[in-house]
Amino acid sequence: MALWITYEMTFYYVILLRLFTNARLLLRCAAMTETDCCVLDEEDFRRCCRLLLQRSEQLRDGWSWEVVQGSDEGYLRKTALRSVPDPQTSTCSSRPKQSKEEPDCASSLVPDSGRGELDEEDDGSCIVSEGSSVVLQYEYHILYSSSYSTPVLYFRAFTLEGRSLTLEEVWSFVHPNFRLCLQNSPLNALSQQEHPLLGQPFFYLHPCRTEEFMKLVLTAAEDKHRPMNYVLLWLSLVGPAVGLDVPLEYCIEPQPSDPE
């Protein structure tokens, strides 16, 4: 008799637990407003990372998931060699001011409130005339920020001789058009701090405006009923500022192989 009661109580407990979980999901969807439609929780972040890793493996793009020893926390990691113009031999010539119909791709990330001020003057964009170049090794990490509910891009850079670049040197290798956008952002968006999981000095792009510009991107994608991977969309916007380009193949569905 006691055993039967235990089974019955367990059965009702499972039913109540499922009802409670579904209710939480419904409330979460109902409470989703225009303001927080682009907020990313850690579970969704990991799901997006898994999808990115699957596609990266197909494309052999080099992303991996690294687990912190003694913890269940982890991050995406990729290393890459970059050939960049030597700032000591490269020059920057002014670019003709673009019309409103053709906005600069870098300044498009600046909110409208600050963009008008830039448009009234020379936007400072330029075309880099390359002299000699140098090869650098970059290591990129994508972490989840619980404070901002967004991904954050951390990275460090080395010469081929193994010397770490200083913050000043990293700034010098940022394309001038992106540099203009970053330097006009709050907190001087590109800076250096301790890696939250490794405790080592890393450079990072501050996430203070991530929700702001992702809101525009996600809203446009939802209006057109397009499938979205938050992390991939975000990375395609912020990555190029520090030399991390996202191949277009990520946005193309792989074709099924022909049966033999």
Active-site residue list: 208
Contact 30, 38 (CB under 8 A): no
215 vs 42: CA distance, rounded Å: 18
